[in-house]
Amino acid sequence: QMCIRDRYKGCFLMNINFYDFSNTTKIQGTVPHITFNNLNGIDFIKHGFSTRLGGVSKGIYSSMNLSFTRGDDEKAVSRNFEIIGNELDMDVNSMVYAMQTHTTNVMKVTKEHCGMGITRERNFSDVDGLITNEPGVTLVTSYADCVPLFFADTRNKAIGLSHSGWRGTVGNIADVTVKMMEKEYNTDPADIVAFIGPSICHNCYEVSEDVAEQFAKAYGTEVFEDILYIKDNGKFKLDLWRANYRNLINAGILPENIGITDICTCCNSDLLFSHRASKGMRGGMCGFLTIKGE
C-alpha cells in the first residue's frame, strides 16, 4: 500500500498568507486572562480565557491550574476557579464544566446543570461541547494545546463552547455544535460570531502519518493546500487553526464573523499551559462563556 507521503509527494504547501490577526486577542486584568475582539463587541455575553498566571497552585501546576484531573490539590483548583470567576464576573456556582474525552459530543445545558464539575458532581460524561440560551449559565471547557471554539448567535442570543483537539477537528465538532444550536435554538449560522481561541500553532504541532491519513480522508487532497505538510523526517505539521476555520465556514458561518487567535500555547508556555511544551507536566486552562443575567 502506497503511503501518504508518496501519494501526495510535492503537494505539501502551507498558505502563509492566511493569518491576518489584526489584534484579535487581548491580555488583560488583575488576574491575567485573554479576551477576543470580535466577542468583546457582543453586548449580551461575557467571555474569557484563562492563562497559567494569577492562581494559588504550586510546582508544575503554577499557578492558575483549572484542571481537577492532573494531580493538583483539589482545594487549590477550587480556589483558582473562585479567583478567575471573580475576575471575569462569573459566579462559580453558575459554571458547567465539560467532561472532555476528545469526542464530538455536544450537550445542551440549563440552570439545572450549574455548578457541575466544579462545586458538585456531574450527571454527564464524554461531552466536549456545551450550548445554552439561558442567562446566568456559564459554559466552561478545558485546554492545554487543543482548540477552543466560541460561538454566539447574535439574533437568538444563544451560545456554544467546544473543545477541538485533532480528533474533534477531524470529526468536526464545529459543525456538530452549529447544528445543535440550529436544532435547539433555531440558530441561523449566518448570525453566529465565532472565535478560534489560543491553542497550538502549526509550527509547533507535529503529528504522525496515521493522524495525517485521517485528515486526508476527511478533507481530501485539499488538506495539503493549507492544513497539513510533510517534514524532512517523514512526520507532518498540522494546522488546527486553519482546519477549524474551514469547518466553521463549511458549517455556514460567514468569514467576516470568524476571529482567529494570535497566541500559540506551545510558543508561550510561560504564559499558557502547553501539553507539548511541558511533555505532559502541566495544569489546564479554561474558556468561559456566559449570557449576561437579565
Q: Is the full-model pTM beyond 0.85? A: yes
What is the predicted pLDDT for the residue at 73?
98
Mean pLDDT per 10-residue interval, the chain, length 294 residues: 41 39 72 94 97 97 98 98 98 98 98 98 98 98 98 98 98 98 98 96 93 92 82 88 96 95 91 97 98 86
- Give 36's strand partners: 25
Q: CA triplet 127, 129, 132: central angle to 5 degrees?
A: 115
CA 117 – CA 113 distance, rounded (Å): 9
Long-range contacts (CB closer than 8 Å, 24 or more residues apart) made by 57-65: 57/283, 60/278, 60/281, 60/282, 60/283, 61/282, 61/283, 62/283, 64/31, 64/283, 64/285, 65/273, 65/283, 65/284
What is the predicted pLDDT for the residue at 53?
95
What is the predicted pLDDT for the residue at 11?
35
What is the predicted pLDDT for the residue at 4?
43
Report how far Cα 235 is from the mean position of its chain's Cα atoms: 24
